[in-house]
């Protein structure tokens, strides 16, 4: 029930002030003006309030009413989220398009979840059972890939008085009644949750399982765990969106949530058009059957960018609480930070570095700390992995958003413009990037993939660092001063970069590499390096090595040998081990 709580006194872009306010609270959701534009209270001062409005405010003027809801900005969580495209405040764009055409009309309202659709509910508890918050009441087949587990909403707990039998239900049907403190409370297929408040869990789990992406530079050199947080900074044209598209398609998360926050309209259009056509390689079905898209382009109201981030992460936590592993792609957090800067400026707050508000580090930390692997309230285990891209102006990683984000994450994939210009994708710099998750997942790789994974990974990183130093020498005095073993090192790193680090998303074999293939490729390249050093000692020339058939086979193995042909890698490794001894060409 909405009540008039005050009247507009001032309009400053997306910031609206109201005076003579009777009752209001911080972060309360409001509706502003005759069009009932959705907004949120961000400041209280006596009987004055300041609101950020998530829609176009050009029609507002002083004297129009402000309606209070008495509730914080919240999202609806229930069956029907998967496969839907929302705007920043969880309005379904498909429904809005049918109602208002190609442009979103001001004040248009649409339920986030379809109230008419019937869902097949199968109960998991019975009358007389005691249930706690987060317990699974029943299941609904949301899509062919996702089983939706209907959870007891927090803080409801008590004895189940009644629950419907297996049947077809709408979201507004009461599926169960729970008695709590002597009062009966209804339970529905959906629930609401305030977006700025993290959902509750029992405890945090240790981060031990890697998020397998199939991208070799990530999985082998700069891995991320399920429940980790990653920053992907890069200037214009370095491939941030390409990286996130690849991860959305190939990573082994159960649910994908893609947040387009302030990105250009043509980029977001490409995402909206391409995602429904992408076939999930694990199931052979549409990727949208396990994906939620949140589209908030740069020409949409700036305040909605801020809400879109929280809308996405709240949906992710909801599926985490069901026991799923969720990957959140936020593209990009720089646009979100720019929205904070604009709103802060209009509120006349003191600016910090480059005009950003002083609370930018706090907001970034609040967002990234909602990642994690947890034991849910029902005793299941799920995770939320956040992969946030950053668009630093001019590719300057010293700017505030990148620097503050580095303090919140333990994995950093720096995109290099020179690599992108050379068509080397993923254009992740092996010099500037890092991952602090190597130790946590090292046991998993050694136990499941290769017992020497740690040693091989450290060895190749050492070679890449030596290569960088030798390149500086070559720039100063030329390549002729290098010793033969140093030339072999440069040759090995060249092979590693072109064969291992560079991947083609257009090649059916090379676009995705299972961990077993990655480990075998790495072992072959390192073995080839050692055999070349031995061959040089025995009198073989570097030119002979470069013209050898084996070198050509090593270069071609990424697209010549598929993920299911691991025995061919073993045969190639045996050839490599015999190279120095036989001097084969």
DSSP, residue by residue, 64-118 = -EEEEEEEE-EEEESTT-TT-EE-TTS-BHHHHHHHHTTSPPTT----SS-SS--
Write the CB contacts of 423 (distance below 8 Å, at least 6 apart in sequence): none
Cβ–Cβ under 8 Å, residues 37 and 106: yes
Distance CA 43, CA 51 (A): 7
Distance CA 336, CA 235 (A): 16
Please state whether beta strands 381-390 and 325-331 pair in parallel, antiparallel, or not at all (unpaired): parallel
Distance CA 514, CA 563 (A): 6
Write out the chain's pLDDT in tens, 585 residues.
Answer: 689 999 999 999 999 999 989 889 999 999 999 999 999 999 999 999 999 999 989 889 999 999 999 999 999 999 999 999 999 899 998 898 888 877 788 888 899 999 999 999 999 999 999 999 999 999 999 999 999 999 999 999 999 999 999 999 999 999 999 999 989 999 999 999 999 999 999 999 999 999 999 999 999 999 999 999 999 999 988 988 889 888 988 999 999 999 988 877 777 777 777 778 888 877 888 889 999 999 888 777 888 888 999 999 999 999 999 999 999 999 889 999 999 999 999 999 999 999 999 999 999 999 999 999 999 999 999 999 999 999 999 889 999 999 999 999 999 999 999 999 999 999 999 999 999 999 999 999 999 999 999 999 999 999 999 999 999 998 888 888 889 999 999 999 999 999 999 999 889 999 999 999 999 999 999 999 999 999 999 888 889 999 999 999 999 999 999 999 999 999 999 999 988 776 554
| Per-residue confidence (pLDDT) for residue 164, from 0 to 100 | 96
Topology at the third CATH level for domain 117-189: OB fold (Dihydrolipoamide Acetyltransferase, E2P) (2.40.50)
| Per-residue confidence (pLDDT) for residue 268, from 0 to 100 | 75
| Per-residue confidence (pLDDT) for residue 491, from 0 to 100 | 94
Distance CA 297, CA 263 (A): 5
* Per-residue buried b or exposed e for 84-97, using 16+ beta carbons within 10 Å of the residue's own CB: bbbbbbbbbbebbe
Distance CA 356, CA 460 (A): 40
| Per-residue confidence (pLDDT) for residue 446, from 0 to 100 | 96
Radius of gyration of the chain (CA): 27
Q: Domain extents for the chain?
A: 3-73, 117-189, 203-437, 453-582
Q: Which of 368, 372, 246 is nearest to 309 (CA)?
A: 368
| Per-residue confidence (pLDDT) for residue 585, from 0 to 100 | 45
| DSSP per-residue codes, 286-303 | BGGGGEEEEEEETTS-TH
Burial class of residue 65 (count of CB atoms within 10 Å of its CB; 0-12, 13-18, 19+):
middle
Q: First and final CA of the chain: distance in angstroms?
A: 81
Distance CA 501, CA 507 (A): 15
* Alpha-carbon 137 to chain mean position: 29
Helix (H) or strand (E) holding 327: strand 325-331
Residue 115 CB neighbour total at 10 angstroms: 10
Q: Is the pTM of this model over 0.75?
A: yes
Topology at the third CATH level for domain 203-437: Rossmann fold (3.40.50)
CATH class (in words) of the domain with range 453-582: mainly alpha
| Per-residue confidence (pLDDT) for residue 582, from 0 to 100 | 66
Classify domain 3-73 by CATH number.
2.40.30.20
Ordered strands of the 130-131 beta sheet:
130-131, 158-163, 176-180, 183-187
* Per-residue buried b or exposed e for 121-151, using 16+ beta carbons within 10 Å of the residue's own CB: bebebeeeeebeebbbbbbbebbebbebbbb
* Alpha-carbon 146 to chain mean position: 19
């Amino acid at each position: 029930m909405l009540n008039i709580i005050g009247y507009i006194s001032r309009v400053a872009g997306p910031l609206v002030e109201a005076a003579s306010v009777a009752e209001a609270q911080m972060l309360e959701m409001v509706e502003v003006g005759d069009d009932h534009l959705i907004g949120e209270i961000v400041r209280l001062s006596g009987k004055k309030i300041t609101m950020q409005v998530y829609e176009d405010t050009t029609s507002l003027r002083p004297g129009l009413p402000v309606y209070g809801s008495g509730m914080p900005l919240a999202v609806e969580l229930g069956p029907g989220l998967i496969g839907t495209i929302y705007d920043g405040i969880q309005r379904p764009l498909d429904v809005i398009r049918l109602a208002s055409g190609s442009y979103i009309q001001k004040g248009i309202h649409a339920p986030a979840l379809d109230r008419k659709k019937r869902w097949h509910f199968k109960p998991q508890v019975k009358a007389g059972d005691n249930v706690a918050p987060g317990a699974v009441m029943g299941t609904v087949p949301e899509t062919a890939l996702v089983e939706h587990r209907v959870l007891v909403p927090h803080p409801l707990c008590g004895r189940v008085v009644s629950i419907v039998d297996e049947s077809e239900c709408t979201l507004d049907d009461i599926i169960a009644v729970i008695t709590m403190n002597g009062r009966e409370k209804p339970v529905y297929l959906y629930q609401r949750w305030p977006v700025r408040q993290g959902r509750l869990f029992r405890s945090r789990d240790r981060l031990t399982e890697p998020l397998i992406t199939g991208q070799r530079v990530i999985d082998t050199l700069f891995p991320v765990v399920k429940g980790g947080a990653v920053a992907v900074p890069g200037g214009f044209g370095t491939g941030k969106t390409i990286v996130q598209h690849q991860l959305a398609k190939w990573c082994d998360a159960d649910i994908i949530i893609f947040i387009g926050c302030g990105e250009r309209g043509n980029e977001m259009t490409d995402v909206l058009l391409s995602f429904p056509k992408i076939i999930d390689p694990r199931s052979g079905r549409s990727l949208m059957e396990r994906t939620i898209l949140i589209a908030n382009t740069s020409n949409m109201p700036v305040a909605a960018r801020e809400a879109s981030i929280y809308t996405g992460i709240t949906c992710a936590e909801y599926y985490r609480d069901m026991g799923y592993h969720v990957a959140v792609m936020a593209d990009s957090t720089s646009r979100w930070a720019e929205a904070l800067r604009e709103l802060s400026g209009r509120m006349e707050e003191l600016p910090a570095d480059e005009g950003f508000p002083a609370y930018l580090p706090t907001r970034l930390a609040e967002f990234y700390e909602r990642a994690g692997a947890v034991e849910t309230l029902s005793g299941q285990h799920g995770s939320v992995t956040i992969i946030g891209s950053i668009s630093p102006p001019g590719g300057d990683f010293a700017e505030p958003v990148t620097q503050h984000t580095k303090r919140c994450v333990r994995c950093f994939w720096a995109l290099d413009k020179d690599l992108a210009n050379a068509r080397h994708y993923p254009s992740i710099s092996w010099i500037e990037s890092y991952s602090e998750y190597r130790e946590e997942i090292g046991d998993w790789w050694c136990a499941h993939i290769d017992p020497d994974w740690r040693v091989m990974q450290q060895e190749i990183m050492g070679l890449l660092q030596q290569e960088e130093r030798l390149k500086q020498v070559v720039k100063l005095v030329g390549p002729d001063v290098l010793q033969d073993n140093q030339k072999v090192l440069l040759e090995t790193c060249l092979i590693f970069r072109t064969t291992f680090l560079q991947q083609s998303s257009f090649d059916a074999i090379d676009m995705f590499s299972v961990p077993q293939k990655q480990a075998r490729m790495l072992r072959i390249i390192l073995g080839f390096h050692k055999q070349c050093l031995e061959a040089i000692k025995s009198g073989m020339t570097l030119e002979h090595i470069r013209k050898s058939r084996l070198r050509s086979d090593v270069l071609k193995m990424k697209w010549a040998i598929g993920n299911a042909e691991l025995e061919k890698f073993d045969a190639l490794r045996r050839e490599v081990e015999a190279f120095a001894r036989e001097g084969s060409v």
